[in-house]
Structure 1
Amino acid sequence: MGLTTVTAKQLEVQRIVDVLSRGVAQHRLRPGTRLIEAQIVDTLQANRNHVQVALQRLAMQRIVTIEPNRGAIIAQPSAREAREVFAARRAIERAIVESISAQTLHEQRERIAQHMANERQATTSSDRRLIVRELSEFHLLLAQLSGNAVMAEILDNLMVRSSLIVALYQRNDVPACASNEHQQILDALSAGDQALAVQVLMAHLDELENQLALDEPTAPEVNLREALAGL
């Protein structure tokens, strides 16, 4: 019974972590947003203790900052941290792409085709959150295709932190990730040319970083209940 109780608690904490992380990744929860425990408990129908544990876990992942007398807020990465996150992404995503074979792409071709169709449909819409979600999912899909669960877990955290960075520093309101570059990476991998795939990926990440204005911005106000609704 004890094991069942612990497992249920872990699953519930993870649910809260996942919802808040999605809120960040989809730019619903922007940097500097105060995470009021009572509102999270009410909106997610969650236990306050579970919410507290989830916030502590997110703080360890540098997605949330817990400050004395202020509580938890969505992290506001500095310009230096932004550069470091992109440096880490280059290292991890290079290793991920180098781990993907042409055979893997062939075996997973239906899954990949479905994602790319979703991505193309999203980029023709005016739904910024949908665009951001689908373009980010491509990078996570590559991590899953690599078969390395540890690299996938690391990249998942880096992608959420990247969402914070984009929300703070992107120069315009157009998502920087480009679907055609994603297709070029897939084409190179399908041809067995991992070196070309890495080259396109590095240029892609360079462009993403170059579209950031790395100065110190001011965070806008966010309605927490509205941001979490439906996640």
Structure 2
Amino acid sequence: MAYKVKEVANLVGISVRTLHHYDEIDLLKPDQISEAGYRLYSEEDLAVLQQILFFRELDFPLKKIKDIITNPDFDQEEALHLHRSMLLEKRSRLDQLLASIDKTILHMKGEIRMSQKEKFEGFDFSSNPYEQEARNRWGDKAVDESNQKISNLTKGEQKNMKEEMNHLFIRMAAIRHLRADSSEAQALMDEWFTWLNKMGTYSKEGFKGLGQLYVDDPRFTKNIDQFGEGLSLFLRDAMAFYSDTKGL
């Protein structure tokens, strides 16, 4: 059976414009075009679309999805098992965040007391699901050094490292309304640069590039902006100014 673009849009719940965009970037091209010029999608096309939407739900950028599903070794069934595993992990994390929201509401009503640490339970930046992007942008050396340093830490030290990082994000979020080149912002950028170099070796370009990645990659943006809306944009600008002016 063949489906017209509007039929697919209604069936799936996405816009016709989105399907047109997927066609234009060669992510999902319809199986055929009718004599009247209508895009016609096959059952196989819909199976591919489902894969794309699973990847989007997991915050994969379109370019990465295209690279994955056009790889000759791509296996749809294997991918579905991977989607399931990742979505279960995401659900667990969302459950933690929802629990934190419920406790925060009760705290605001004065019904319970909630520590500062409890307010940020569920936020986890200790893992790095974007390692390949880092390797592509800055080479293997910084990533390998960072991984080696982390693996050498005890569980207690890794926990302390995570808490230090979250505390820095909280402090940076608190001043995100200031200018990126303000003395307060640049003092925190100095701390952030120093902290990152405990885990790896970040050059001037690497530090600035990392800040840009916070904005370019929606997964980074989503995680960072949980500490405060617009924090990723603030960090991009503050890290760029720090890199351009500190002579690193």
Q: Normalised by the shorter chain, which TM-score bucket?
A: under 0.3
Higher RCO by CA contacts (8 Å cutoff, separation 6 or greater): 1
TM normalised by structure 2 equals 0.24
TM normalised by structure 1 equals 0.25
